[in-house]
Structure 1
Amino acid sequence: MAKDTHDNGRHPIQHEGGFDTVGSIATNIEDGFTMAAVGDLLLARPVTKGRHPGFSELIKILHGADVAFGNMETNILDRSFTGSPQAEYGGAYCISVPELGPDLKAMGFNMVSRANNHTLDWGLEGMRETSRVLDENGIIHAGAGENLAQAGAPRFMETARGRVALVSFATSFSPMARACDPAGEAPGRPGLNALRLAKSIVVPPEMLESLRRVREILPHYDRAGKDPSRVAIEETIFKAGEKAGYNFEADARDVAEILRNVRQGKQFSDFCIATNHGHQQEWSDEPPDYEQTLARRLIDAGADTYVGHGRHALRGIEIYKGRPIFYSLANFFCEDLRTPVGADMFAVYGKDPKLDTDAEVTIDEVAKGYPKAEGLVGALTDLIYYESVISVSRYEDNQLAELRLYPIELGHSKRLANRGVPRLALESQAKSILERLQKLSKPFGTQIQIENGVGFIRLQPMSA
């Protein structure tokens, strides 16, 4: 076995073909390996035995894959649950019944991410109960744990074509949900694997000067700490730039820890998934400015794919060094039969729990948009929140050979009791979904061909 003594900051690791020369360990799976990836799993009940036309045909796609992955954006609780709805929550108290565990398994899901803005809607008790149910049903999950080391650690699954690792983190989360490690005599804190972002507002230079003058007349202005490149007013930071918008700077310590976990995940597996849940710029088809750089760094560190979710609508697909980056796979389920609903949500929507039902709170929530989800603008009743794809990546010779995109729709026009469960989209809607995804992916240089209502991304084999 070849040995390389030159690090060059790239962390070379031994494998059957020697050290990988681009700084990430080569994919090492058997031919025909497939990964099915979907977006957010927002559901409150089991559905496989229900009356949902077209759903059984759809889940055959998941069953045909070695890995079936989605973002677990709910808590699984039973009636003996001793926790409570938290004062800080992810915009809605996402909750489901214990039967959801075996139902997810029956659908074919075998890996899910846990780090998102709903991880601690029902406190640590809810987080732990959800972990227990997933464990009992053999579903591998990552992103939540008893301290940061556990929440951030890669989790592994054995498949017939190779060992798969999953690293899950979130850029949108309630402040008290962030896990931390022990420090001296202070114990660690349970929670999720968080990537903190510093948000700034970008304005034209002349506007920044006006803001600086405003800042200088306010009390307690710190002249010694004056930074010519930015203006801070209370907790809001303004920067000068050519195009007005938002800037997000990822915390360097959090990034280093996540990259380390991805690197270790690949060292102990044949295929590594990195996944991020974020609501930044939720109103935009374009990913926030930090995300492309981060996704590429994760792939350079060893990830074989990056899966983004949280926007609840599709964003583009990029192929970087032969590996897919999904900037948002939208919703796989968007089913809103959540009950019970915490008192805080009744108050937010001006409802009375003695007069109004849980469903009436949910209807208002969906119609108005989640008020506490950062950057969310507009109603979640729009059709785009009920359209998505199932992505299926197939590998040959340890390279991505083909990526199939199956368009799905989630019953946008159905009544509340039946809405949000996916089925394969029919011809005209399927064409519309795929054409939109073509447009979203074009800025990344990705070409999607449409054949018989299915999208295809085909790659030419890369030289060794």
Structure 2
Amino acid sequence: MALHRVKAPLALALVVAVAACGNDRADTTNLAPAPAAPAPEPPDAGDEATRDAAAPDAPTNSPAFVTVFAAGDVSFGRLVGQILLREPDRALFAPMEHLLRAADVRFVNLEGPISDQGTETVSPENNLVFNGPPASADALARAGIDVVSTANNHAWDYGKSALLETLDHLDRASILHAGTGATLEKAFEPAIVTRRGFRLAFLAVTDVWNQGALSKHPGRAHVASADREALVRAVRALRARGDIDGILVSHHGGEEYREDPLPGTRALAEAVLDAGADAFLGHHPHVVQGVSFHAGKPIVYSLGNLLMRMHSGHPWTEMGLSVKIELEKGAPPRLFACPFRIHGIEPIPLARDPRRKAYESHFFGRFQALSRRVGGATLGPAGEDGCAPVKPPTRAETPRSSDSLAPNFP
């Protein structure tokens, strides 16, 4: 599939204006296993108060604190979509349940549209053009996913109408989204979630586009591009509001199957953290890349896949990374790496893997080697949940570009 770097700059004044808006979700119960409730009446798009009731305040004797689960690409096209057409209630994320339930907020990248195309989940002309059936939104809701990024190179796979229908299905399932919209202003609005007195904003952008240059494509009016200056101004505007406690930036970019981030991605990540973001979350390469820290804040360059059928020619697509981020007012973010193995379409986290010992050693060895190549990180032992603490590097963790990386799994 031909990929192109997005070159469309966003209007800077526009970004500052929309950062004062956003689609919000108030404090709710933690992951409910019951099917999604019937769709509510559509809210007034211009009235934030109709979208989100005020969240209860956190106890005055404890600081506001939130735990975020974040993972990479989720595609309901091709085989996964066919499964949902046959079994619309299939619990596709069930193996990850212990990690999902342990988080207050859950985020993934939605790779492709959700629209009613009958039984079609991939284009008959191009097997890299995806579509998820409407039941995909309900599958996300059953897993407790709170926020998705829709800014990626597959957003326009079935055109403008499917892009907008995707947002309707997400709204119906009460899933917040960032990165695309009916207008560019809407695409750049933050998705805002409040949990336990902590107000967390997500921004999402894409640096790749499948249909030529985004700046020359009709999608430029509906998809947030990874324009550095615009994104920095959006983060600063969110920080200036005074009612936002944390900011996470989702970035779809880099090169597929490449094990190191591009120089432009590294520069963008550092710029948005300097502007006030708390963490940078990357996806698109379909393989896990390393983690680095800037000013004590984590840069996760590529989370790899979570639910996306891949061909066997790229063995490292069979390992994915979810992360747990603990955010607390007045404290630096705390990061945990929670890897999993993808068996067919099923993600098997370390805590549930019968071959945990072998995979744990193999994954974390590669992960630490990749991290050294982008600045280094200190990795602690994994806990019972399969998650290992990742901290800024010690003096001994010096960057090396010559780390040997094992080509295959045990």
Q: Deviations over 1:233-257 (max 9, x none)?
A: xxxxxxxxxxxxxxxxxxxxx3222
Within the alignment, does 1:264 sit opposite 2:194 as a pair?
no
Matches within 5 A, 1:98-109: 98-109=134-145
8 Å contact from structure 1 (residues 147, 179) kept in 2: no
Q: Distance in 1 between matches of 2:322 and 2:154?
A: 23
Given that residues 33 and 396 in structure 1 are in contact (C-alpha distance below 8 angstroms), is that contact kept between their aligned partners in structure 2? yes
TM-score, with structure 2 as normaliser: 0.69
Q: Which residue in 2 is equivalent to 1:95?
A: 131
The one-character-per-residue Cα deviations of 1:97-147 (angstroms, maximum 9, x if unpaired) are: 111112101112101111111000000011011000111111111111233
Q: Deviations over 1:369-422 (max 9, x none)?
A: xxxxxxxxxxx53321010122101134532463222221110xxxxxxx2221
* RMSD, aligned CA: 3.2
1:66 is matched with which residue? 104
C-alpha displacement of 1:265: 2.9
- Is the CA contact 2:281–2:299 (under 8 Å) kept in the aligned structure 1? yes
Partner amino acid, structure 1, of 2:260: E
2:187 aligned with 1:155: no
1:439 equivalent in alignment to 2:364: no
Aligned counterparts, 1:128-139, within 5 A:
128-139=164-175
**Runs (5+) with no aligned partner, structure 1:** 1-10, 12-27, 182-186, 196-253, 336-365, 368-379, 412-418
Q: Is the 8 A contact 2:319 2:342 kept in 1?
A: yes
Structure 1 CA distance for aligned equivalents of residues 277 and 133 of structure 2: 33
CA distance in 1, matches of 2:141, 2:91: 18
| Residue 199 (structure 1) aligns with | none
Change (3 A) 1:318 1:387: same
Residues 1:423 and 2:344 aligned together: no
Distance 2:118 2:257 in 1: 39
Q: Tell me the amino acid that sits aligned with residue 66 of structure 1.
A: D
Which amino acid is the alignment partner of residue 190 of structure 1? A
Rounded to whole Å, the distance in 2 between the matches of 1:459 and 1:399 is 14
Give the distance between the partners of 2:167 and 2:212, measured in 1 at CA: 19
Kindly provide the amino acid, as one letter, of the partner of residue 422 in structure 1: P
Q: Hey, what does 1:351 align to over in structure 2?
A: none
AA of the residue aligned to 1:403 = L
Aligned length: 316
Is the contact made by 2:90 and 2:139 (CA closer than 8 Å) also made in structure 1? Answer: no
SS of 1:319's equivalent? strand
Pick the aligned partner of 2:273 from 299, 313, 327: 299
For the structure 1 residues 112 and 86, does the alpha-carbon distance in structure 2 shift closer, same or farther, using more than 3 Å as the test?
farther
Which residue is 1:317 aligned to? 291
Larger radius of gyration: 1
Kept in 2, the 8 Å contact 1:178–1:193? The answer is no
**Distance 1:397-1:167 versus aligned 2 partners, 3 A rule:** closer
Amino acid at match of 1:105: A
Distance in 2, Cα, partners of 1:86 & 1:160: 47
Q: Cα distance 1:405–1:328, how it changes in 2: closer, same or farther (>3 A)?
A: same
Partner of 1:451: 382
CA–CA distance in structure 2, aligned partners of residues 95 and 423 of structure 1 = 24
CA contact (8 A) 2:291 2:376 kept: no
SS in 2 for 1:144: coil
> Partner residue of 1:382?
314
Check conservation: 1:59, 1:108, Cα contact below 8 A.
no
1:345-382 Cα offsets, whole Å, 9 max, x none, are xxxxxxxxxxxxxxxxxxxxx55xxxxxxxxxxxx533
Alignment of structure 1 residues 41-440 onto 2, 5 Å: 41-43=74-76, 44-45=80-81, 46=84, 49-50=89-90, 56-79=94-117, 92-175=128-211, 178=214, 190-195=221-226, 254-268=227-241, 269-280=244-255, 282-335=256-309, 367=311, 381-400=313-332, 402-411=334-343, 419-425=344-350, 426=353, 427=356, 428-440=358-370
Secondary structure, aligned partner of 2:113 = coil
How far is 1:284 from its partner? 2.8
Say if 1:304 and 1:180 are closer, same or farther in 2 by CA, change over 3 A. Answer: farther
Task: Please report the TM-score for the alignment, with normalisation by the length of structure 1.
Answer: 0.61
Structure 1's 292 and 188: CA in aligned 2 closer, same or farther, altered over 3 A? closer
Q: 1:81 to 1:163 in 2, by over 3 A?
A: farther
- The 2-side partners of 1:48 and 1:57 are apart by 17
1:9-54 deviations in whole A, cap 9, x for unaligned? xx9xxxxxxxxxxxxxxxx9944411111111123445895487xx
- SS of alignment partner, residue 145 of structure 1: coil
| Partner SS state of residue 209, structure 2 | coil
The letter of the residue matching 1:42 is: S
